[in-house]
Structure 1
Amino acid sequence: MSNVTLKPHYSTVVVGGGQAGLSASYYLGKAGVDHIVFEKKTAAHKWKSERWDAFCLVTPNWQCLLPDHPYDGADPHGFMVRDEIVGYLDRFIDKVKAPVLENTEVTLIERDGSGFRIETSAGVVGADAVILATSLYANPFIPRAAEKLPESILQLHTASYRNPEILPEGEVMVIGSGQSGCQIAEDLHLAGRRVHLVTGNAPRCARLYRGRDVVDWLTDIGQYDITIEHDGMNKKKHDTNHYLTGRDGGRDIDLRKFAQEGMELYGRMETVSGGKMIFRPNLAKNLDEADRVYNSINALIDRHIADRAIDAPPPSVYEPVWVPERETTELDLEAAGVTSVIWATGFTPDWSFVSLPIFDGTGYPVQRRGVTGIPGTYVLGLPWLWTWGSGRFLGMAKDAEYIVDDIVSFIGLNRETRKRVAAG
């Protein structure tokens, strides 16, 4: 891939060689659009270098529907583990044969007449259109409170965690109860490590309900096709994903059960002071809200089954198996025997190279179905770009195809405009 020869101008430049950028390249190639994909590292590298050993999908394999590349294994209702996911992506890379220039950083995108000027570590090129496919997960985020932790404590972000064996002996503090935080906490818990887990506002979801995987039910209901323009869904793009797991065939993650088994749970972290971690007294609230979402999703499935008279096992409502007797609001980490902290605090996007007025006050690109207000500028691969399926293997093809269709029309119009201007 990296032996692609750089040209002075392309019809379209794609920034990012992950599944989003590769999907865009697939449709650009199919439409005959001259293009190049710039990748700062290597194609799909995050799946290879920023996932822990026991990582697996949380949605069934059949939802892997990259362009012309559906799941090609023998277990459509299973959950691929990291190396299987990498294999699936490598086969997609081989199939697409995208013109990817790897180890090439884009440092500036700016307007240049009716097109764009793109500065990269390999040189400067021009383009009629650009697709920003770098996702929201460019840089691991660790709060400044980490600087106040004792130097004796090892600190890792989830992007660097691999397995329990890389951590020193002692207890482990995991900060964050989203999908990664909960799954890593479980990974450590199953390995016999004593775990402290700081919770947040992440909701949870059942794995199986009334005889089927909840994802199957939600697909039938049409949840993954709900657009961001549906009642109040626009705010969903900033929501934390529901926590559950595909590990060992798939199961719920119930933090209350972990607590019964000895895991220590806390409310949201406020700060670190004097070697102590300070927490909000909102653990009970966090657990209750996660369970409320869990039960509301199941109730949605109940209504679907009742409305269609589907023969299924009886409904149920989750009842807490454990409740906190008290809220711990501070913990001396060294005194508690905590020797490592894992920051499951997410990532931040990097749009610093984009010198185009496409962002809102929060730094999020303003777009509709990937099309921004600056003609010829597109974004791809974001959660809730258009539907709940956007940003996932499930919805990537539809989003990429829509954007490329728009680019084909735009490039045609843009060329005609330039011809008219040149003709006077």
Structure 2
Amino acid sequence: MEVIDTVVVGGGQAGIAASEHLTNNGIEHVVLERHRIAERWRSERWDSLVMNGPAWHDRFPNLEFNCHPDAFPGKEDVADYMVAYAEKIGAPIRTGVEVKRVRKVKGGSSFMVETSEGQIEARHIIAATGPFQKPIIPPMVPTDASVFQMHSNSYHNPEQLPEGAVLVVGAGSSGTQIAEELRKAGRKVYLSVGAHDRPPRRYRNRDFVWWLGVLNKWNADTPNPGTEHVTIAVSGAEGGKTVDFRRLAHEGLTLVGMTKGYSNGTVQFENDLVHNVNRGDANYLSVLEEADAFIAANGLDLPEEPEAKIIPPDPECMVNPILDLNLAEQGITTILWATGYALDYSWLEADTFDERGRPIHQRGVSKERGVYFLGLPWLTRRGSAFIWGAWHDAKFVADQIQIQHNYSGYHGEAEVIS
């Protein structure tokens, strides 16, 4: 049986970052990936997807994207970048190897890793499978209803869907971009909008990632449990643009409130559309105000942009909100659920999960000795979900493993002072 100090589960951005820092610390390890490197970027995203951050910002420190720094790389470019980086650092990644079970060795301090290629004994386990593990489709519309249902992770392009109108549930980055793509393809589209933040894509000649950096918002502490994931409507599509729900509605997309139920072929919505859109506008304007204050306080010479503060008038769908939709009457043949993902650590048998199956940890260090987590949103701060954020989080975790090595290697005796 193979014995390795550390097993990293997952060959995406978090697993690759972990490998780099483990190598730098001289820690023997292997990265196990059940498919290809960065597989979800290739097969579980739509064809036209681009990164939500510009290439100059959302990358590993030691390798630039092969494109203009202000461009937004496509999904295949991101996957290729991950492969190139893994090769650059010589990451010991084994692809096509599925981890089926990890359990503690009885009476010992190591773990038994059961894989599709055999067993590995390891002292440390880094779970780097990320947050996009189990697509969530709310059990609202019966599977035998006369409408095609799909999660956004399976959507690739408009031609994939049956002809007819589409209801997109979820107005974060994915739902909003897919809804707009479908509208431009000639579909009638309804977009169910819940609570969200919608930062400006650019303001006064700077991208919003720059503003979050200089305003020190990337280092924001993790919110209270249950509020870690704030839906953010931002897009890098078409060179990057600010998401404006009123503008989308004026261009032909129909907004509805939060989806709340289904009965006899009719979907019901909360009467909260106006509140949700207004709240998003308030978030947008607050970022502009903070940016203006920063410019004034630091004497920066950046062009004014008064037109950015103009909020378009309410479209008809906000003046007279739709509270229910009969799918057949409105010609809706598809419901596309952009409703996020659940975590799935069913393969990891460790005493470090709460009653909802969420990891209990501090900065990725779990309560189970020898188990670590990487790649989760808000793992240590707001920036943790991004490529560069995962890189910094991975350094901390690799350093903690090195520290444990140092403790384990101590064999001296304390001096007794009488």
Instruction: Give the TM-score, by structure 1 length.
Output: 0.91
Once the two structures are TM-superposed, the CA of residue 416 in structure 1 deviates from its matched residue by 4.5
Q: Which runs of structure 2 are paired with 1:243-254 in the superposition (5 Å)?
A: 243-254=233-244
Query: Is 1:301 paired with 2:301?
Result: no
Aligned partners of 1:148 and 1:273 also within 8 Å: no
CA distance in 2: counterparts of 1:206 and 1:121, whole angstroms? 46
Query: What residue in structure 2 maps to residue 319 of structure 1?
Result: 311
Q: Which runs of structure 2 are paired with 1:8-407 in the superposition (5 Å)?
A: 8-66=2-60, 68-69=62-63, 71-112=64-105, 113-147=108-142, 150-151=145-146, 153-228=147-222, 233-235=223-225, 238-314=228-304, 316=306, 317-323=309-315, 324-407=318-401
CA distance in 2: counterparts of 1:380 and 1:282, whole angstroms? 36
Aligned partners of 1:267 and 1:279 also within 8 Å: yes
**Which amino acid in 2 is paired with 1:409?**
I
Length, aligned pairs only? 407
Aligned partners of 1:207 and 1:252 also within 8 Å: yes
Aligned partners of 2:57 and 2:209 also within 8 Å: no
**Which amino acid in 1 is paired with 2:284?**
Y
**Which amino acid in 2 is paired with 1:394?**
W
Query: Deviation digits for residues 335-371 of structure 1, max 9, x if unmatched?
Result: 1011112110111111112221212343221222211
The secondary structure found in structure 2 opposite 1:144 is coil
Q: Aligned in 2, Cα 1:355/1:318: closer, same or farther, shift over 3 Å? A: farther
Query: Deviation digits for residues 253-289 of structure 1, max 9, x if unmatched?
Result: 1111111122111111112110111111111111111
Once the two structures are TM-superposed, the CA of residue 8 in structure 1 deviates from its matched residue by 2.2
The secondary structure found in structure 2 opposite 1:362 is coil
The secondary structure found in structure 2 opposite 1:394 is helix
CA distance in 2: counterparts of 1:359 and 1:254, whole angstroms? 38
Aligned partners of 2:193 and 2:257 also within 8 Å: yes
Aligned partners of 1:42 and 1:103 also within 8 Å: yes
Once the two structures are TM-superposed, the CA of residue 142 in structure 1 deviates from its matched residue by 0.7
The secondary structure found in structure 1 opposite 2:401 is helix
Instruction: Give the TM-score, by structure 2 length.
Output: 0.92
Query: Deviation digits for residues 367-423 of structure 1, max 9, x if unmatched?
Result: 222112222211001111112111211212111111111111212323547x99xxx
Q: Which runs of 5+ in 2 are unaligned?
A: 414-418
The secondary structure found in structure 2 opposite 1:277 is strand
The secondary structure found in structure 2 opposite 1:61 is coil
Aligned partners of 1:207 and 1:251 also within 8 Å: yes
CA distance in 2: counterparts of 1:222 and 1:156, whole angstroms? 38
Out of 47-56 and 311-320, give the one that drifted further.
311-320
The Cα RMSD (Å) is 2.0
**Which amino acid in 2 is paired with 1:245?**
S
Query: Deviation digits for residues 180-212 of structure 1, max 9, x if unmatched?
Result: 000101111222221111111121111121222
Once the two structures are TM-superposed, the CA of residue 235 in structure 1 deviates from its matched residue by 4.9
CA distance in 1: counterparts of 2:200 and 2:293, whole angstroms? 16
